[in-house]
Structure 1
Amino acid sequence: MIRLETHCHTKYSKDSMLPFSLLYLKCRLCHINWIAVTEHNNIQGAVEFKKYCEKKKSKLHVIIGEEIMTLDGEVIGLFLKEEIPAGLSCDETITRIQKQGGIVYVPHPYDEKRAKTVLKEECIKKNAFRIDCIECYNGRNISDTYEMKQTEIAGKYSLDFVIGSDAHTVWEIGRNYMMVNCIPDSPETFKQAIKCATFHKRECLKFSHKITKLVKLLRMLKKGNFNEIYRVIKKRFGRTM
């Protein structure tokens, strides 16, 4: 059996500082065989981590992905060859994934805490025939309600289920993964693998959300984006400053 972990982020995402060395070590310790790296709006992290693993002649294999912010919420593309820009419509983003022969993957289809990034259900309904899989569980869900609603949405449109770790920190790697019985080395074998996958999931590490907020703040400080820092603090404390 093969351990497959999907929907992971590294230092190439705006809300993660996870270095390749720690990601690689944790994957090896947790016996992860295949990992889908899906940075926010870029494939560079996945491409570079794939090279990193290949240099080590490792048994850890990398699927190149991207978590793309569309006008209607986020969509993940797997097995990509070219980066897809953010800010396109859901329809256009899916079309571009398919033109590359990639997997169309819907992350966290329901999450009150991340409502701005959740793909609108009307888009899921409209494109159900073009969607290859949808998360019925996300490792960053802070409530069981989210899992139940996600499973309901997946079932409503007869979509294949996956679980995504959505890992941004080293502590989250290896907690949420799928056991599959065929090597997911292409879009075709990936789709075959998830149809008979066994899910291994664990509750959200709530402190991980605080870490990503801190990472965003540190990156804004580094860039000198003080107006944005002011806006975030003002929103957080809910008062005029």
Structure 2
Amino acid sequence: MELRIDLHLHTTLSHDSTVTLEDAIEGCRRLGLDGFAVTNHDVLTRVPESALDDSGLIILPGVEIKAEGIHIGAFDIRELPEDKLSLGETVDRIHDQGGIAIICHAHSVLGTWLNRGNIVEAGFDLVEVANAYQFPYWMMVDLNRRLARRLGRPETGGSDSHIPDTVGRAYTVLEAEERSAEGVLDALRKGRCRGEGRGISLGERLKWPKVRV
């Protein structure tokens, strides 16, 4: 079955987001998405059972961490890797727990992360190709997709939302065997996924710095 999941989203447990869990649920429902992942900065977020039961959505706990300045989306891990590890060591710690490591928004108009660490040798499982906050959106999608091809890795997508208005703007399309968090993780591991969506508007972009600290 085909599932659409916003695989990169921040809630108020991230220092720079105003999105509540209820905002994320409402936004994904409005857009007809099947669910979302909570990827707060450096915080492993537990999703309340009540939210899982009542929302009817798949809500996947994850985390966004940094190593050598590169952002990594990690899923299916129990504890955060230690600080100040190299990029490869951080990805290894994720894999040691049976987790999944995604390189997030590897390019920007200010430059690329390809000269940081050793991305080719780090062993990422997937590449975030569609990130709604990247600008200009389609140029960044193209550059990220080239990286995915270079690494021979499947692609993902996520809104990277920090405000309620942009929840679900970009997402991952997965071919899953079941409609569940386990089904999403299995599809990611098998690479049965792709990134889709569109970028945020200038007006939405201007709202984000107001909540950053």
Alignment TM-score, normalising by the size of structure 1: 0.76
Aligned length: 207
Equivalent-residue separation in structure 2 for 1:160 and 1:63 (angstroms): 19
- The equivalent residue for 1:233 is none
In structure 2, relative to structure 1, the CA distance for the partners of 1:52 and 1:205 (3 Å cut) is farther
Which residue type is aligned with residue 134 of structure 2? Answer: N
Runs of 5+ consecutive residues of structure 2 not aligned to the other structure = none
- The equivalent residue for 2:164 is 170
How far does residue 207 in structure 1 lie from its aligned partner after superposition? 3.2
- The equivalent residue for 1:154 is 148
In structure 2, relative to structure 1, the CA distance for the partners of 1:159 and 1:51 (3 Å cut) is same
Equivalent-residue separation in structure 2 for 1:120 and 1:78 (angstroms): 25
Aligned pair 1:123/2:123, yes or no? no
How far does residue 167 in structure 1 lie from its aligned partner after superposition? 1.2
How far does residue 61 in structure 1 lie from its aligned partner after superposition? 1.8
Residue 53 (structure 1) aligned to one of 29, 51, 54: 51
Equivalent-residue separation in structure 2 for 1:114 and 1:12 (angstroms): 28
How far does residue 121 in structure 1 lie from its aligned partner after superposition? 5.6
Equivalent-residue separation in structure 2 for 1:172 and 1:85 (angstroms): 31
Which residue type is aligned with residue 36 of structure 2? Answer: I
Aligned pair 1:200/2:196, yes or no? yes
In structure 2, relative to structure 1, the CA distance for the partners of 1:198 and 1:109 (3 Å cut) is closer
What SS does the corresponding residue of 1:62 show, helix, strand or coil? Answer: strand
Equivalent-residue separation in structure 2 for 1:121 and 1:159 (angstroms): 19
What SS does the corresponding residue of 2:8 show, helix, strand or coil? Answer: strand
Q: Is contact 1:106–1:131 with CA below 8 Å preserved after alignment? A: yes
Aligned pair 1:179/2:173, yes or no? yes
Equivalent-residue separation in structure 2 for 1:201 and 1:91 (angstroms): 30
Equivalent-residue separation in structure 2 for 1:203 and 1:167 (angstroms): 11
Alignment TM-score, normalising by the size of structure 2: 0.85
Per residue, is there more helix in 1 or in 2?
1
Q: Is contact 1:72–1:119 with CA below 8 Å preserved after alignment? A: no
- Higher-Rg member (1/2): 1
**Percent of aligned positions that are identical:** 22
What SS does the corresponding residue of 2:147 show, helix, strand or coil? Answer: helix
- The equivalent residue for 2:70 is 73
Q: Is contact 2:128–2:195 with CA below 8 Å preserved after alignment? A: no
Per residue, is there more strand in 1 or in 2?
2
Give the superposed CA RMSD: 2.3
Which residue type is aligned with residue 139 of structure 1? Answer: A
Equivalent-residue separation in structure 1 for 2:205 and 2:76 (angstroms): 27
Q: Is contact 1:72–1:89 with CA below 8 Å preserved after alignment? A: no
Runs of 5+ consecutive residues of structure 1 not aligned to the other structure = 218-241
